[in-house]
Amino acid sequence: MNILGKLLIIFFYAIYLKMIETIYNFLPLTPFLSTSGQPTEKEIAALAEEGCEVFINLALHDDPRYSLKDEASYVKSLGLQYVHIPVQFDRPLKSDLVAFFHAMESNKGKKIHVHCAANKRVTVFLGLYFFIREGKSEEEAFDPMWEIWKPDVIWSSFMDAMVVEFHL
């Protein structure tokens, strides 16, 4: 490949990276895990181009303000595995969290992106996953959450109940 070809590759790679950085409330947590609010189709394509293999959505599909028209089909058309765990923002459930734990554990070693509408549900669920399943300290587990938001009474109560439920 000649110099011009290499420069073009670098240029387009920089465009993809720039597009990923514009995703609402984007947090790159590890080389294998990132989170965000609702990405656009172009941003999802950029994540796929960056090697994302699993796309987990914790948002609902029934509100066009916070979801894409047929996100599941679009994500699958890019060759990604799609996991949808619809978590009601005003009523998170233990069964949602258990499904999330299963999705994370069954995809260990793969490059995962997790999103919801604003990265609030995601950061709580990931904090609980890091704390309960991976044994991280509370501070380390919930640090990404504090970057995005301070949970309201519904979510704080849910977090407390899940920690008690899993006997920690």
Taking only the tens place, the pLDDT of each residue in 19-55 is 677 899 999 999 999 999 999 999 999 999 999 999 9
Question: Could you tell me the two tokens for 79?
Answer: 């060759």
Distance CA 9, CA 3 (A): 10
Residue type, 72: A
pLDDT tier at 2, thresholds 50, 70, 90:
low
Alpha helix stretches (DSSP H) within the chain: 3-21, 41-49, 71-77, 94-105, 120-128, 138-148, 153-165
Distance CA 54, CA 48 (A): 9
Superfamily per CATH, domain 3-165: Protein tyrosine phosphatase superfamily (3.90.190.10)
pLDDT at 129: 98
Contacts (Cβ under 8 Å, ≥6 apart) of 109: 32
**pTM of the entire predicted model:** 0.88
pLDDT at 9: 43
Residue of 130, 138, 97 lying closest to 29 (CA atoms): 130
For the chain, give the mean pLDDT. Answer: 90
Q: What is the pLDDT of residues 59-98, one digit of tens each?
A: 998 777 778 989 999 999 999 999 999 999 999 999 999 9
Q: What is the pLDDT of residues 6-24, one digit of tens each?
A: 443 444 444 445 567 789 9
pLDDT at 66: 74
Question: Could you tell me the two tokens for 33?
Answer: 């895990």
pLDDT at 39: 96
pLDDT at 94: 98
Residue type, 89: F
In the chain, where the domains are located = 3-165
pLDDT at 65: 74
115 touches 122 (CB < 8 A): yes
pLDDT at 10: 43
pLDDT at 11: 41
